[in-house]
Amino acid sequence: METRSSRSNDGIHRKRFYKDVWFWLFIVMTCLFLMTFSVLTVYVNDDETNNQVKVEKKNSKSQKSNQGSKKNKSTKTTYLNPGDAELFKTSDSKITISIDSAQRVDANNDMVTDISHNYDSTTDYVIVNYTVTSLTGSLDTNLVDGSEFNIFDSNQTSTIQSSNRDPGTPDYISDGQTAHLRIGIGLETQSDFIYVKMDDSTWKIPVS
């Protein structure tokens, strides 16, 4: 005697679909396909992520390299030679200044005696010769008496500047006029050259 569940209404015996081999084969193939697709998707995403990380790291290294290169370039100083003139502006005129030479002198020289007699730490004395030319307007020479310079020895140690000035220095120079001026300095150690800085300009001057 057959049950109602195993026979259709028309009396024909039918096999249940989940007992069919083709049904389960279809299920297995579908599962394999989905698993394979998922694995490939994860692999591709991981590969893209890795490539992105590599590119970001490479860009980071490149940026650091460029920053280091810029830093090295920005810190490199180009020195002016003796006699090179640089343009400067005062409130009333345009002028050029050139540092011409540096000459070693005795401690009793009039241009450095105030240093040698008052600063025991100084052992070397130098006179810096420089030229000032007024291009436009009248220039008060007190504005260029040498105190505006920052002067260093070969070890980049600051020097002491004399307050003595040449007698007979004109009070003013007019358009096209030139004044040859001097300033004495004291150094703690003997140097073969000095650095003279004014604003962004730096001269490297040998001491004779």
Residue 43 domain boundaries:
17-75
Q: Do the domain assignments include residue 5?
A: no
Residues 51, 98 within the same domain: no
Same domain, 195 and 120: yes
Residue 3, in any domain of the structure: no
Judgement on whether residues 127 and 189 belong to the same structural domain of the protein: yes
Last residue of a domain, one of 75, 95, 111: 75
pTM above 0.85, yes or no: no
**CA 43 to each of CA 33, 39, 47, 48, 56: distance values in angstroms, whole numbers, following the listed order:** 15, 6, 6, 9, 20
**Residue 135 within any structural domain of the chain:** yes
Confidence of residue 62 (pLDDT cuts 50, 70, 90): low
Percent over 90 (pLDDT), the chain: 53
Q: pLDDT tens for residues 81-138?
A: 999 999 998 888 899 999 999 999 999 999 999 999 999 999 999 999 999 999 998 9
Looking up residue 107, the CATH number of its domain turns out to be 2.60.40.1240
Residue 65 has pLDDT above 80, yes or no: no
The reply to whether 12 falls in a domain is no
**Domain count across the chain:** 2
Which residue(s) pair with 173 in the sheet? 139
Is the pLDDT score of 53 beyond 90?
A: no
pLDDT (tens digit per residue) in 192-202: 999 999 999 99
| Of residues 171, 165, 205, the one with CA closest to residue 84 | 205
pLDDT digits (tens, 9 = 90+) for 29-50: 788 777 776 655 655 455 555 5
Q: Do residues 61 and 131 share a domain?
A: no
